[in-house]
Structure 1
């Protein structure tokens, strides 16, 4: 662990909304984005439950916009993931690349439904979406639905930052048959020091705007050369940004994340470690269906998504939870477009529906009222519009 001078530590309950309002600015080092009253939202509905939950998010957006007066331009792209691969042989088709590029060039952001195969990995590499943030925050979770102790979510506010464009998921593999006829598979990947520095510097800037605590995940003796690079870079960026930096092995990190999550502020992890930790942390929120994230380029272009998969078995069943996709929209409005009032209204709408006792099937509890995809969308739409009206 390295320790350097840093701002006074704030407890989670002392962290105001201002500490969470400029994540893109912290990641990129650029000035905060102004308010966009005419945001451009490019939608990639995806596959499985993707079209259902992205429609739900847009329904909520339309209702809130009618109250606050924003005039969103919504444009829809083509097939992605397994669907695109079946028809064209590529999970990230050229028309989708062109669609995303056009949205980014026009200062828009992407609302992404789930896409399978290599889609998300190829998209991140294509557009240098190097930094992923998965927020794990009390106001976006349902403590009584968590399999863990309910008090773990109280006042919780941590961010899991994941390096997206290097590491295991961006490596190359092959298979050979040896002289004995045995199948051997190999997978090789690299980390450039400049890429690790860029990622950790962004994570440290993010931590500096919050409680000033950066936890960097590695496996010191399991992968010693990579871990040594990450530790060297972490110590340097901590000194530059004036934050406390702690190095934690991945196995201990997984344990501490669910046993004492309030001890953490910004957790920065290599690609695969960050993937696993974000899904594990969803247990604190109550369900993986509630988890969501944003992926960012060095220029602040953003792609927002749920952290769950396509759930093909739930497609067109009215059993899918739209909450994660709706909350990813709120994250987009706040961080890509400066629309704090609209984002807050959506979050308050979700919270109100939960307070009223409504639950989707995966978090159903005794005494609660069951809502399918359509019903939950209608309830959140109405509650979010009401919250927006109260704020006028």
Structure 2
């Protein structure tokens, strides 16, 4: 008789420990197949933070090399809270010739007896419990004579991944998908960015995308770089100083108001594990520019200064200029920034970055 493991959960996102459990089902427990069953909404969670399509996409990426794994959409297609009892009854009725077991993590043991129709469910199917934490509810295991198994455990959780913890242990292709779709954005910035800065960032992303469209540039890259440009803007000075000391001490000599652009780039590279160098560079250059400005750099630099909520004198003229000619608009914005900085401070204190950018783009190029 064919043996199949049913593996349910939110998978928001799927991560390497999910995959290691799946591999153990095949290699150590000798299941013929593993059927992954993403829930539309977990009954013990109020909402999912990603769309159904995104979670399915990530699952397909994660299991693309595992031919014994199938992603089943029965629970998702119901578009309501999913109950394991209903799912088990459905599959056992539809495939009476198959022997099913249900795979769960030990972190679910505390709520196990609260599952819908629990008394019938525990008689309907046997459970395989994988030990995801060192501490688990041994009383429940003993009470229902559950089988427990160890596996190659990174001690990951979807919550950790959403909050940028242990991303180095995550599946790279899934992490790239998350980054390229700006997933979990609010969770990742909610304690580090006030509401005003958050909505400014969203506006800059939209403006960057509009400028990308006008300049035949990649819309998604522009959206990402624009949205994330101020990712470190509201960090504390000690925290920014720590990053600059770690990744480039020379930048400590730059004016403090510019630090967030450098720190933001380092944060995306080393904490979000962004692999797109152009996006990282655009965040790095968005405040004062540089001699080596790419199209994306100019797009984000300009979008930051003409985003929809900006209402300073002359901003409408500058918006029109940037939209009609990106390079000319960039130069005008850079010149304005330099002149304002010199007026407020002095040529000797505005920083090497702004001075070099101004001398190259305004003095040499004109």
Q: Which one has a larger percent helix, Structure 1 or Structure 2?
A: 2
**Taking structure 2 as the reference length, what is the TM-score of the superposition?**
0.25
**Taking structure 1 as the reference length, what is the TM-score of the superposition?**
0.24
Larger Rg computed on CA atoms: 2
Whose relative contact order is higher, 1 or 2, with alpha carbons under 8 Å and at least 6 apart?
1
Q: Which one has a larger percent strand, Structure 1 or Structure 2?
A: 1
